[in-house]
Amino acid sequence: MALLVATPRRAPWALSGVSGLIVAAVTLPLAYVVLRAFQGGIARYIETVATERMAGLLWRTSILIAGALAVAVPVALTGAWLVVRTDLKWRRFWATVLALPLVFPSYVAAFALIAVLGPSGLLQGVLEPLGVERLPGIVYGYSGALIVLSLFTYPYIYLLLVPAWSALDPALEESSRTLGAGPLRTWRGVVLPQLRSPLYAGGLLVALYVVSDFGAVSLVRYNTLTLSVFHAYRSLFDRTIAAATATVLIAVAILLVVLQARAQRGFRAVRRGATRPSPRVVLGRAQAPAQFGLALFALVTVGIPGGVVISWGLRAIAVGNPLGAIGAALSHSLQVSLLAALAASILALPVAFWAVRFPTRVSRTAERLCYSGYALPGLVVALALVFFVTRHAGFLYQTSALLVLAYVVRFLPEALSATRSALSDVAPDFEDAARVLGHSRWSAWRRVTLPMIAPGIAAGAGLVFLTTMKELPATMILRPTGFETLATRIWAAADEGIFSEAALPALLLLVVSVLPVWWLSIRPALRDRESRS
């Protein structure tokens, strides 16, 4: 087979120009956080940042990241092992159930936790006649934040582990065993190192989720960097403090990305799709305990939050909760989410095309820059846009257009990565074939490439739609006055402890998102596994 020693083809000027503009539009505003933080001079900045309070916030954020990872990684490993490498009964069912916590945004999970275990929650109500005056307050503070941010984030690791693990060549393990290594040494020396890539990538997602989370930590009253940025922004006239705290948050996010990249660097793998599935461990007598354990786990991570939302939601409907206001919130949510999905998928096209078809250092870097919005907390993105807009584009302030722009900056990577991977699956041969048959570059692209990558674009748009529906912190900051979405209503009601009012929008949110989550996130990751085994 002839290697394509192709000389790099030069990108059409219009393509690189348009892409460059898009990249600049989604990355430049981010610089405004830094700009704003240093507005009062460096001395002032250091005075704001180098405080005991900041150290405390850093510490609290760090131990939350560490704790979440310490729980999420073993949970994800165990779950993936059970469904990929054992003869667990009803594997497909469990494989899906284990990914389902993904449908609960952190603030819904936190709200359910409080509604069940909180001081005026369900359990308290059951136990009060028995003389229990007050449950220990595990739902608040570190423990509450940890429960929510580990048990509802581990699917990010799990969904990367499952396909990687099932694609692992069983001959690796078998060689290790024939060379005299026992199961434990084989696991630690051969299997685990091969799973490093999904573990680190998933771990980074979890860590970034924790760093950027606003909904859960605010409801369980655990003060982190993100939460304190929000409060600083809301309560003080001087926004320099919010900006300064945000720069620390940015530094943490960058540090996490760099750490992950470094850890990943030494990774070597010979990628060869497994030609045969790995033999499965026979659970035998452990089958029943495994089933029981999974059922109990699913009860906590899916059954209880789902049940709370559904039962409170139905009760709210029964007592005739004002549906009108929620109808408006639902339609707002749908509007901005659809717009964000549309805008992100259209903007992703030229950038993806540029980076995939004309890979140069410039185009690759530009593409990576687009991912910065994804690594940064939504709150930081929102602040950046506020600072940028108040200085240069005041007419945008307090408009839903700005809200949509924030979503695009934040979630463009989802559309971009879906589009890019669809595009790299389409060999340039297809476009070339259309060219030699007499079609212009544009016609070849429209009639051949676009139809072929349409499913990928749609999947990306679906993901942007979903994450926008759930987005809370940026929405809180940027929404026009009186503009309620499902997310803001859920949070506001839960924050005041009015569960019945939080439940109905939460139910709507779940109903709207459960099928897309399954279709776009869960099914693609698990399908691989099923086709192989």
- The sign of the dihedral angle between the CA atoms of 247, 57, 241, 404 is positive
Distance (Å) of CA 101 to CA 194, 291, 533:
26, 18, 25
- The sign of the dihedral angle between the CA atoms of 53, 32, 398, 334 is negative
Residue 288 near other proteins by CB under 8 A: no
Residue 439 near other proteins by CB under 8 A: yes
Give the nearer residue to other proteins in terms of CB position, either 365 or 443.
Answer: 443
**Given the rule CB under 8 A, which of 12-20, 285-293, 394-402, 439-447 is the region that contacts other proteins?**
439-447
- Considering only residues 440 through 469, tell me which ones interact with other proteins, judged by CB under 8 A: 440-441, 447-448, 451-452
Residue 97 near other proteins by CB under 8 A: no
Give the nearer residue to other proteins in terms of CB position, either 196 or 435.
Answer: 435
Burial of 435: CB neighbours in 10 Å, binned 0-12, 13-18, 19+:
middle
What's the min distance (Å) between Cβ of 354 and other proteins? 18
Give the nearer residue to other proteins in terms of CB position, either 235 or 275.
Answer: 275
What's the min distance (Å) between Cβ of 2 and other proteins? 4
Q: What is the rounded (10 degree) CA torsion for 151, 154, 156, 157?
A: 180
The gap between the terminal CA atoms of the chain, to the nearest Å, is 31
Give the nearer residue to other proteins in terms of CB position, either 323 or 454.
Answer: 454
Q: Are the CB atoms for 509 and 470 separated by under 8 Å?
A: yes
Q: Return the number of other C-beta atoms located less than 10 Å from residue 314's C-beta.
A: 12
Give the nearer residue to other proteins in terms of CB position, either 180 or 273.
Answer: 273
Distance (Å) of CA 217 to CA 44, 275, 382, 473:
29, 46, 18, 12
Structure tokens at 99: 């990914």
Name the residue type at position 486.
L
Count residues binding other proteins (CB under 8 A).
26
Query: Whole-angstrom Cα distance, residue 216 to residue 410?
Result: 19
Binding mask of the shown chain, residues 393 to 432, with x at each position contacting other proteins by CB under 8 A: ----------------------------------x-xx-x
**Given the rule CB under 8 A, which of 26-34, 256-264, 436-444, 497-505 is the region that contacts other proteins?**
436-444
What's the min distance (Å) between Cβ of 450 and other proteins? 10
What's the min distance (Å) between Cβ of 422 and other proteins? 13
Query: Whole-angstrom Cα distance, residue 1 to residue 437?
Result: 24
Structure tokens at 399: 């408009």
Residue 433 near other proteins by CB under 8 A: yes
Structure tokens at 393: 């584009």
What's the min distance (Å) between Cβ of 440 and other proteins? 6
Which of 177, 196, 315, 435 binds other proteins (CB under 8 A)? It is: 435
3-class DSSP assignment, residue 306 = helix
What's the min distance (Å) between Cβ of 455 and other proteins? 10
- The sign of the dihedral angle between the CA atoms of 146, 149, 153, 157 is negative
Residue 3 near other proteins by CB under 8 A: yes
- Considering only residues 102 through 161, tell me which ones interact with other proteins, judged by CB under 8 A: none
What's the min distance (Å) between Cβ of 193 and other proteins? 32
Which of 178, 266, 437, 482 binds other proteins (CB under 8 A)? It is: 437
What's the min distance (Å) between Cβ of 353 and other proteins? 17
Residue in this structure with the two tokens 């900041």, named with its chain if needed = 54
Distance (Å) of CA 248 to CA 38, 39, 371, 478, 515:
13, 16, 19, 21, 37
CA 142 from chain centre, in angstroms, equals: 21
What's the min distance (Å) between Cβ of 464 and other proteins? 24
What's the min distance (Å) between Cβ of 456 and other proteins? 13
What's the min distance (Å) between Cβ of 475 and other proteins? 38
Residue in this structure with the two tokens 């305990």, named with its chain if needed = 289
Which of 2, 50, 184, 318 binds other proteins (CB under 8 A)? It is: 2
Residue 281: φ, ψ to 5°: -70, 130
Give the nearer residue to other proteins in terms of CB position, either 219 or 448.
Answer: 448
Q: Return the number of other C-beta atoms located less than 10 Å from residue 278's C-beta.
A: 21
Binding mask of the shown chain, residues 9 to 38, with x at each position contacting other proteins by CB under 8 A: x-----------------------------
By CB under 8 A, name the binding residues for other proteins: 1-9, 427, 429-430, 432-441, 447-448, 451-452
